A and B are shown apart, each in its own frame.
Chain A
């Protein structure tokens, strides 16, 4: 089946905005609870257009995120690829969810990625975390109520497909 390829640059722009938001200076309290903007954006595009945005886009975006955050090269690439895989397997189901259920799904995804990240980093060298390590999962879940309508509005208006 052929699909029209519309608005790839808009999708790239949304990822760039998400990357900028990832490093935007915020007060310390908000910094610890910063939502995983890139992850939210990725989850949206994979759920909305699973035939176009999948594991390899996630991998590329993850590499950019690794370099920006100064982590081991490939860490976020792996995490985002795994999340994209889950989303691709589940997209037809998740699309039927009500919005609170979708937010819970996103919360679980972000929580899973934080957990995997902790495991991988801990395997390399011992890390100590505080409870605030998990806040991004919560704030990402909450932000979904805003981020989802925003990106959906963008997709419909610009007819990205």
Chain B
């Protein structure tokens, strides 16, 4: 009994005080991966089933719509490539560092329920795909979170909204820097230590500022929902709705830090 308690305590301290047991952790996480996949079978079967009995007309309509969307995105992407080239050239003129897009990879969320008190998801890419701890994760609408644990074929992503998580952001309209902390509630963040007199408005867009050097610069994080200013307090209470739709993130995008600049090919996104 004492041996078990002592070794458990030692493990907890080691795990908390640093990455001393990261190897053990990754190994164990890899060995329990099958459990996760088995648990996700019912919901993936349900998704497959509803997908396979969808009516032909519906599929045609969806196909049509997707084609339209893809066309419009393609045209926008042409402009983006030109803009990126121009941006890099201007940065070159200013002698500042060139930053462009790095490698990216799409991963799927494995539908399992993790701890209800914590906001995290499991994705189906791991260390064999080059995922690393601290990597930024996006969904189709904005920043989703960061990787906290990597197994061979899966990785655990801590969402922005977890109460342990904070991300440096910038108010896009004014360039004011702040830190958005998770609240533990779905799709809700809080801006801390914003003085009452600061120029922020409801509806302002927040983008990642890249100051922590963990998240890339300029991705949408959220939108200010309400501001409560109490004249007795030094700081305003600001609630933020995340740009990422956490309740329905089926696919996520993993980012790598930018490489030295080169023109981005259109088919850069690998599935």
* Chain B residues, Cβ within 8 Å of A16: 35
Q: Which residue in chain A gives the minimum CB-CB distance to B6?
A: A78
* Chain B residues, Cβ within 8 Å of A72: 11-12, 15-16
Q: Knowing A73-B15, A133-B117 are in contact, say whether A81-B32 is a contact too (CB < 8 A).
A: no
Interface stretch (choices A98-106, A121-129, A145-153): A121-129
A23 to B42, CA, bound (A): 12
CB of B28 within 8 A of CB of A67, answer yes
A85 to B111, CA, bound (A): 35
Cβ of A90 within 8 Å of any chain B Cβ, yes or no, is no
Fill in one digit per residue for B112-140: 1 if any A CB lies within 8 Å of its CB, else 0: 11111110100000000000000000000
Q: Knowing A19-B32, A23-B36 are in contact, say whether A74-B115 is a contact too (CB < 8 A).
A: no
Q: Which residue in chain A gives the minimum CB-CB distance to B13?
A: A74
* Chain A residues, Cβ within 8 Å of B40: 25
Cβ of A56 within 8 Å of any chain B Cβ, yes or no, is yes
Instruction: Bin the interface of chain A by size.
Output: 35 or more
User: How many A-B contacts at CB < 8 Å in the complex?
Assistant: 107
* Chain B residues, Cβ within 8 Å of A56: 4
CB of B32 within 8 A of CB of A74, answer no
* Chain A residues, Cβ within 8 Å of B115: 69-71
Interface of A is mostly: helix
Cβ of B184 within 8 Å of any chain A Cβ, yes or no, is yes
Q: Which residue in chain A gives the minimum CB-CB distance to B120?
A: A70
CB of B118 within 8 A of CB of A70, answer yes
Cβ of B54 within 8 Å of any chain A Cβ, yes or no, is no
CB of A81 within 8 A of CB of B1, answer yes
Residues A107-134 near B (CB distance < 8 A): 120, 124-125, 127-129, 132-133
CB of A34 within 8 A of CB of B113, answer yes
- Spell out A's residues near B (CB within 8 Å): 16, 19-21, 23-26, 28, 31-32, 34, 55-56, 58-59, 62-64, 66-75, 77-78, 81-82, 85, 120, 124-125, 127-129, 132-133
The 4 A-B pairs with the shortest beta carbon distances in the complex, nearest first, are: A74-B11, A78-B8, A23-B112, A74-B12
25 contacts between A and B (CB under 8 A): A19-B35, A20-B38, A20-B39, A24-B112, A24-B113, A25-B40, A25-B42, A66-B28, A67-B29, A67-B32, A68-B32, A72-B11, A72-B15, A73-B11, A73-B21, A74-B7, A75-B12, A78-B8, A81-B1, A81-B4, A81-B8, A82-B5, A85-B1, A127-B117, A127-B163
